[in-house]
Structure 1
Amino acid sequence: MHDPFLSRNHYRRFMAAADLVSFRVSEKESDLHIQALHDLSTPARKELLKLRREIGEYIVKYPNFHSTLLPWPDDPQAPALIRSMIHASQLAGVGPMAAIAGVIAEAMGKKLLHRSEKIIVENGGDLFVCSDTELTIGLYAGDSPFSGRIGLKIPPPRKGMGICTSSGRLGHSISFGKADAAVIISSNTAVADALATAMGNKVQKPEDIEPLVEKAKNIKEISAMVLVKGDRLGVYGDVEMVPLKGA
């Protein structure tokens, strides 16, 4: 049995940036690990409470928004945060809550960008990153031989980028697949989160990976994708797999 807390610490250890200050803000289910040029804990906590309040108020109004596994219909009157989740759910064919970690990570990151030109926000294993240097993000994929040994090296995400992971074996999120890891990189973090869930749901066996890599090539919102099932690895897009130092 895997301990999700240990898995999270392992993941965070490999995404640490030496030139940034790390701090953590949490509220109920939300646990954000943030790296910036200086400690922004106070404004970050204020923003987290605001974001959770917006989502909570919408769920009170529409309780099914929290539980449905189907795409949510358009709601032009909804707050921008909710509309982003709706768009992601429709694009990926999953429920809107599949995008919640990603949408919060991006909203938080963009709010803090005017205080720090470099920012990394991790929320439940999903990332929003903005930096003028290339980054290497560690890959944690359970018992796969690739887990903790390789990283995803991505070009400088100067305009912000989402890197989201779904697993059928780790974490608390709902997954109907058996992927050790399904990683999506996109300029829209909510979309990356929802698509990671959708792609992960489709991986039942190693042979499923190749067709999904081909499918990803036709989804313009996907900048890159990495799928892991056991000793099988599928990679598409603008990402380089590199060995992790000390692994």
Structure 2
Amino acid sequence: MPVASSEVRHYRTWFRPGEGLVAFRVVYKETDLAILAERDLSLEGLRLVREIRAPLERYIGNHPEFLTALKPLPEDPEAPELVRRMMLAARTARVGPMAAVAGAIAEALGRRLLEEGRTSQVVVENGGDIFLALRRPATVALFAGESPLSGRVGLRLPAELMPCGVCTSSGKIGHSLSLGRAEAVCVIAGDTALADAAATALANLVKGRRSLKKVLARAGEIPGLMGVVAVVEDEIGAWGPAVELVPL
């Protein structure tokens, strides 16, 4: 679940829009988004976020277990599309469906902006979970709290990898539920909801430095992942063909 919108997200000061893109923010209830697009789409973004959240909120109202489950729920073919995407991601990663909510909303908004022709490039960041659709390479900085590696390592994403999701879970940063002790576990996947759910699942496995090998081994067992980077204290581990680490 995204952290409260009143929380100061210091990592957002690292945003560098690049030529032809502008940065703006959209906040609605618990959803707090930092967005890059070819023009300021604040009003359009707010309208779409309301539309995207509405069926999810109704579903939770009728199925309160969806909000609290820590394990995958059975398929529901009558559920809204966003809910079904979250459920599928959760089953794939073996976590509760709300572990995919931030990534799912980020991608849903990004794709709606693209489909409506509002912009031809977009980045949507939702509490450390990011949907990227750019025509040029991008570098995502790895925020890992108090680790000496925080802000010093980035993930370089080639243009041909996008659109994709880059999502991060931590046992020490933010309000999202994590059962582990990772500074950060960052996941790259074509499906942002899956990247979000998998980041939570892998971060839950971290109990100390010795957990790195277990996390990376498990990463290779989750279908659909393209890369994983895990930071535990002052150590870092990586898995996957899409991982290209660069110094910052």
- TM-score of the two chains, using structure 1 as the length reference: 0.93
Residues 1-247 of structure 1: pairs in structure 2 closer than 5 A: 5-6=7-8, 8-9=9-10, 11-19=11-19, 20-113=21-114, 114-156=117-159, 159-237=162-240, 238-244=242-248
Contact 1:25–1:33 at 8 Å: present in 2 too? yes
Give the superposed CA RMSD.
1.4
- TM-score of the two chains, using structure 2 as the length reference: 0.93
- Please identify runs of 4+ aligned residues in structure 1 that moved more than 6 A: none
Gaps of 5+ in 1: none
- Secondary structure at 1:203's aligned position in 2? coil
- Secondary structure at 1:104's aligned position in 2? helix
- Secondary structure at 2:182's aligned position in 1? coil
Contact 2:137–2:159 at 8 Å: present in 1 too? yes
Deviations 1:171-222 (CA, angstroms, capped at 9, x unpaired): 0100000000000100000000000000000011111112321232233311
Whole-Å separation in 2 of the counterparts to 1:108 and 1:116: 12
Structure 1 stretch 150-159 or stretch 19-28: which is displaced more?
150-159
Whole-Å separation in 2 of the counterparts to 1:196 and 1:41: 28
Instruction: Give the 3 Å change call, closer, same or farther, for CA 36–162 of structure 1 in structure 2.
Output: same
Deviations 1:123-158 (CA, angstroms, capped at 9, x unpaired): 111000001111101111011110011111111156
Gaps of 5+ in 2: 1-5
Percent sequence identity over aligned pairs: 44
Deviations 1:17-68 (CA, angstroms, capped at 9, x unpaired): 2221111110111101110011111111001011121111001110111111
Deviations 1:73-94 (CA, angstroms, capped at 9, x unpaired): 1001111100000001111111
Contact 1:15–1:136 at 8 Å: present in 2 too? no
Number of aligned residue pairs? 239
Kindly provide the amino acid, as one letter, of the partner of residue 209 in structure 1. L
